Structure 1
Amino acid sequence: MGYKIGNIYGITAIAVIGGGLFGFDISSMSAILGTQQYRCYFNQGPHGPGFDDDPLCSGPDASVQGGITASMPGGSFVGALCSGFLSDKLGRKTAIQWGCVIWCIGSILVCASQNIGMLILGRFINGLSVGICSAQVPVYVSELAPPSKRGRVVGAQQWAITWGILIMFYISYGCSYLSGTAAFRVPWGLQMIPAVGLYIGLLFLPESPRWLAKHDKWEECHDVLTLVHGKGNPDTPFVRLELSEIREMIEFEKRNSDVSVLELFRPKMLNRLHIGVFTQIWSQLTGMNVMMYYITYVFGMAGLSGDINLIASSIQYVINVGMTIFALIYIDRWGRRGPLVVGALLMATWMYANAGLMASYGSPAPPGGVNNVAEESWQISGAPARAVIACTYLFVASFAPTWGPVSWIYPPELFPLRVRGKAVAITTASNWIFNFALSYFVPPAFVNIQWKVYIIFGVFCTAMAMHAFFLFPETSGKTLEDVEEIFLKGVPAWKTRVEYRNVRLAEGGAVDDKEAAFGRHEERSEEKTGSVEEKKSG
């Protein structure tokens, strides 16, 4: 089998480069769409179409720019839907490798774009890759990680996204000083490098033990568990515990072999599908990715232009990276419910504040927009403008340790192995279809309803706080199999608690404690199997 990396953090560091691809795509567009080179090459304004260097180039109009930006999440929607089939057939690792190949093909087309149609096609193909990777990297990592580290390592996907955004933004900013089309072709070409690195790195990672078990590769499954959890000892109590739980779940699935994607829409599974889907939908309706894609428009309304706008925009990317670290350290102690509810309330506060500032102190922009950008159809200046920028930074600081990582951590924890790949594909696809819609409609929204856009997102944040409190159960610190028990017993979401300490004891405590945990698990397993059989017969 060759050399394989067994340290869960080493595995995570390589796997989450797939998230970095999404980050690269976000900022390669947000940093470039305000440059003169981009506006003139893809010009549709009063001095176009025609690719010239007229200083009045206004770039694509609002609806076309929305289509260019939305083509990537549109492709991601399709890629995420396909990823469940690819992952279940080929393996989690191989599906991600296919995503790397597709990314390189899309990047070549984007880099070589001769017109808007070719740019849209390349971004759509890039999106196919991002859809596959964003759906299956969390599944892959969650199936390898022990419960007490699962939130941290799956949340690293969001951290990789923030790093991708930050790195690519500064690359694009530096390239903006290049003359001609090199200003955008160079960064669009460089984004292939992490995909090549991810493909090579995956060759040294083990396959998911749960996927191996599902395909009756028990010896390889045991080897992977020994490598990742047993430090070379196949008889450690925690390895035995994991193997026992996986075997129990596989046997249950064989007894109930009529498993298909339709099972997700049956009464016993529909509730958790709704939770997983809305976790991803709400993460888009916070307005965060809109801030990432179109931050130069927002700061343009606040009177910033040129290099000052780009530098001010980059600060939010630095905040995004820095604040996500808190989630990586503490998310398994905080749990999932708390960050979702608190984060949503904080984001609602900053959205309402921005709406109030824009409405009270702003005014319509002159014809043609601010700084010759039509999307900047509202303007605000002075101290209120600085307050808008501050609230935008606080919004990012509220999203980064809460909805950002939790929206990737939570869905894979909700589903049993037999449907996990397909379920996470559907939940991730729902993320991308809403990303697509928002990317497409926000530029015209800034033109047509101006500051009221902030009220819309503020209402969404308020609604998601209530939804999460009443219907999203806690999964932190529980094994993936234990989460199944919560739904089978119908425990109300607000009565579920974090079990971080208990799981840490089972993983890393004294041998006696591990054996006790192992024994308690077997008792629970018998109860669970009985309750499942009762429900099925009923």
Structure 2
Amino acid sequence: MPYLGLQGNALLAAITCTSGMGFILFGYDDGVMGGVLTAPSFESQFHMGSKMQGTVTSIFLVGAFFGCMASALLNGKWGRKTVSHAGSLVLSLGAVLQSSSYSVAQLLVGRIVAGVGLGLIVSNIIMWQTELSPGHLRGLLVASALSFLILGQLIAYWLEYGISGVPSTFSWRFPMAFQAALGIATSVMLLFVPESPRYLYQKELHREAKEVLTLLNTHRGGVNEEALQITITEITEAIAIESSQATWSDLLKDDHVRSRRRVALACILNACQAWSGSTPISYYTTYIFENSVGLSYHTSLLLSGILQVWFLVASFGTWYTIEKLGRRISFMVTAVGMTCCMAVLAAMIAINTKTSGIVGSAMIFLYQAFYTWGFMGGIWVYGPEIMPLTHRAKGEGLATACLWLSAFVVTEIVPEAITNIGWRVYIIFASFNLAFVPFVYFFLPETAGLTLESIDLCFMDRSTTPVKKSNEMRKQLRSGVAAVLEHEIEAGEKKDVVHVECSAKD
């Protein structure tokens, strides 16, 4: 029986958990390096300075960058699931190399290999989940999967804390090796879930695609035929509109679906995530508590674990806000909140007293809450949403590569920056967060509640801006009126009029 006999909401839950497992891998690496770097047995094994610590941490992101670029090339040929399978196994190999390291060179190779694997996984699995999720639940489901990212960090921090008293290299080798087990588990879970129906339609595997959509639209033993036919029509019409110009060069052209604009927005938004300050807080939580706030190693490790518990609890709020408030409001409000937290953190570190250290620690906790309510879940949802269907694999690969490239730069410089300019590092992050507000307001259309195909309308209508068009479409949805676009595509003397209906539930 395919997919363990699951259908409807049960199948969606399995898809969400599988995507979540991929993000546990992501979060686990974020968390594991934060504790490993400051472990006494690790320091005595490798004797690293702050610059080399930054390199060992950030070289993983270089691997992830190349993994994303490889994904952009392979995704359209192999499919979302196959590339994610490959990424899981490559990451497991990298974890084995890291855990068995006796030299910095081997450790660096292991970090790069694991990074390539994670780049393949993350750039595919979030797109795969997005394409399988119904429009009215897409934000909720992707945000809930991203809570698994924090769970991965939580597992790493508490695992390290639990064995931190072990004086041997086991205290850092085992946490690194454990990532291989998580990678294999992800690969196994992918065997029991379907491929993206949108990818299957692109490959003209219509029967298989319809079977997947039928299972997704089966509830209490009955198929929602109306929702099924609407979804099939939207996908096939979107492919018909976009396939006429489905080339790599279109990513850089202002074509009829505005591919260049959409890819650029996704790339900038992904870079924003790294420059918000989230990357160093993820990788260097223990380091920041110890070197910026001035706490002891064991206190820093304990507080880092507590922070991840708080981070996970706070992420549940994203399940509500991402659909109820929408993407734009969530981005702007939380960007202001992150700005304030970083500014106060900088001031407290500059004052450098016991009381200011307590307040600074509280700001890190509050920052993580704002980050998860807006940027953490929202950015991963938003990128695949605004990509044209035909270019989604290439475009999302490039956008995620921009995240890794930006994260590499930030992660590489943070330890040295903390050493050289101290509290001013956090002023830089505060400035970036403040700059995100006008970017979101003027350039990012609201996508909450819209189907992936109907989001095309926001960009294809040249008579208005994408932001205004999305607001207009959402008003129509609330009033029960279908949004219709008569879009003409010239191909010689032929013109096609495409009718796309935009519904609140698909």
| TM-score normalised by L of structure 1 | 0.86
**Contact kept in structure 1, 2:19 and 2:125, CA below 8 Å:** yes
Residue 418 of structure 1 aligns to a residue whose secondary structure is coil
Superposition deviation, residue 195 in structure 1: 1.4
User: For structure 1, which segment, 345-354 or 265-274, has the greater mean C-alpha deviation from structure 2 after superposition?
Assistant: 265-274
Could you tell me which residue of structure 2 aligns to residue 237 of structure 1? 226
1:339-363 deviations in Å (ceiling 9; x for gaps): 111111110011111222223x1xx
1:431-460 deviations in Å (ceiling 9; x for gaps): 000111111111110111111101100110
User: For structure 1, which segment, 330-339 or 60-69, has the greater mean C-alpha deviation from structure 2 after superposition?
Assistant: 330-339
Could you tell me which residue of structure 1 aligns to residue 205 of structure 2? 217
**Contact kept in structure 2, 1:20 and 1:164, CA below 8 Å:** yes
State the distance in 1 between where 2:434 and 2:382 align: 20
**Contact kept in structure 2, 1:17 and 1:160, CA below 8 Å:** yes
State the distance in 1 between where 2:169 and 2:472 align: 52
Could you tell me which residue of structure 2 aligns to residue 376 of structure 1? none
Could you tell me which residue of structure 2 aligns to residue 421 of structure 1? 393
Residue 474 of structure 1 aligns to a residue whose secondary structure is coil
5 Å matches for 1:467-486? 467-486=439-458
Is residue 45 of structure 2 the alignment partner of residue 36 of structure 1?
no
**Contact kept in structure 2, 1:335 and 1:498, CA below 8 Å:** no
**Contact kept in structure 2, 1:412 and 1:420, CA below 8 Å:** yes
Structure-2 change in CA distance of 1:201 and 1:532 (3 Å): farther
Could you tell me which residue of structure 2 aligns to residue 297 of structure 1? 287
Could you tell me which residue of structure 1 aligns to residue 345 of structure 2? 354
Structure-2 change in CA distance of 1:401 and 1:305 (3 Å): same
Is residue 260 of structure 2 the alignment partner of residue 270 of structure 1?
yes
State the distance in 2 between where 1:241 and 1:191 align: 41
Could you tell me which residue of structure 2 aligns to residue 17 of structure 1? 21
State the distance in 2 between where 1:180 and 1:501 align: 62
Residue 422 of structure 2 aligns to a residue whose secondary structure is coil
Could you tell me which residue of structure 1 aligns to residue 241 of structure 2? 252
Residue 36 of structure 2 aligns to a residue whose secondary structure is coil
Could you tell me which residue of structure 2 aligns to residue 375 of structure 1? none
**Contact kept in structure 2, 1:284 and 1:435, CA below 8 Å:** yes
Residue 38 of structure 2 aligns to a residue whose secondary structure is coil
Identity of aligned residues (%): 28
From the CA coordinates, give the structure whose radius of gyration is larger. Answer: 1
Structure-2 change in CA distance of 1:290 and 1:454 (3 Å): same
Computed over aligned residues only, the root mean square deviation of the Cα atoms, in angstroms, reads 2.2
Superposition deviation, residue 499 in structure 1: 7.2
Could you tell me which residue of structure 1 aligns to residue 157 of structure 2? 169
Is residue 412 of structure 2 the alignment partner of residue 408 of structure 1?
no
Could you tell me which residue of structure 2 aligns to residue 508 of structure 1? none
State the distance in 2 between where 1:290 and 1:102 align: 25
1:158-191 deviations in Å (ceiling 9; x for gaps): 2111110011111111122222111111111111
State the distance in 2 between where 1:279 and 1:532 align: 32
Could you tell me which residue of structure 1 aligns to residue 272 of structure 2? 282
| TM-score normalised by L of structure 2 | 0.91
Could you tell me which residue of structure 1 aligns to residue 312 of structure 2? 321
1:250-275 deviations in Å (ceiling 9; x for gaps): 22344x1x422211111222211121
Could you tell me which residue of structure 1 aligns to residue 12 of structure 2? 8
State the distance in 2 between where 1:236 and 1:227 align: 11
**Contact kept in structure 2, 1:302 and 1:381, CA below 8 Å:** no
State the distance in 1 between where 2:162 and 2:118 align: 25
Could you tell me which residue of structure 2 aligns to residue 492 of structure 1? 465
AA aligned opposite 1:326: G
State the distance in 1 between where 2:191 and 2:211 align: 17
**Contact kept in structure 1, 2:3 and 2:194, CA below 8 Å:** no
Superposition deviation, residue 471 in structure 1: 0.8
5 Å matches for 1:148-187? 148-187=136-175
Give the aligned length: 483
Could you tell me which residue of structure 2 aligns to residue 49 of structure 1? none
**Contact kept in structure 2, 1:30 and 1:295, CA below 8 Å:** yes
State the distance in 2 between where 1:270 and 1:21 align: 31
Superposition deviation, residue 233 in structure 1: 4.8
Superposition deviation, residue 100 in structure 1: 0.9
State the distance in 1 between where 2:474 and 2:140 align: 12
Is residue 409 of structure 2 the alignment partner of residue 437 of structure 1?
yes
1:345-400 deviations in Å (ceiling 9; x for gaps): 110011111222223x1xxxxxxxxxxxxxxxxxx232111111111111111101
Structure-2 change in CA distance of 1:197 and 1:501 (3 Å): farther
Superposition deviation, residue 157 in structure 1: 3.7
**Contact kept in structure 1, 2:459 and 2:465, CA below 8 Å:** no
State the distance in 1 between where 2:183 and 2:477 align: 35
Could you tell me which residue of structure 1 aligns to residue 323 of structure 2? 332
**Contact kept in structure 1, 2:459 and 2:466, CA below 8 Å:** no
State the distance in 2 between where 1:479 and 1:499 align: 11
Structure-2 change in CA distance of 1:500 and 1:170 (3 Å): farther
Residue 530 of structure 1 aligns to a residue whose secondary structure is strand
1:218-237 deviations in Å (ceiling 9; x for gaps): 11111000001234655610
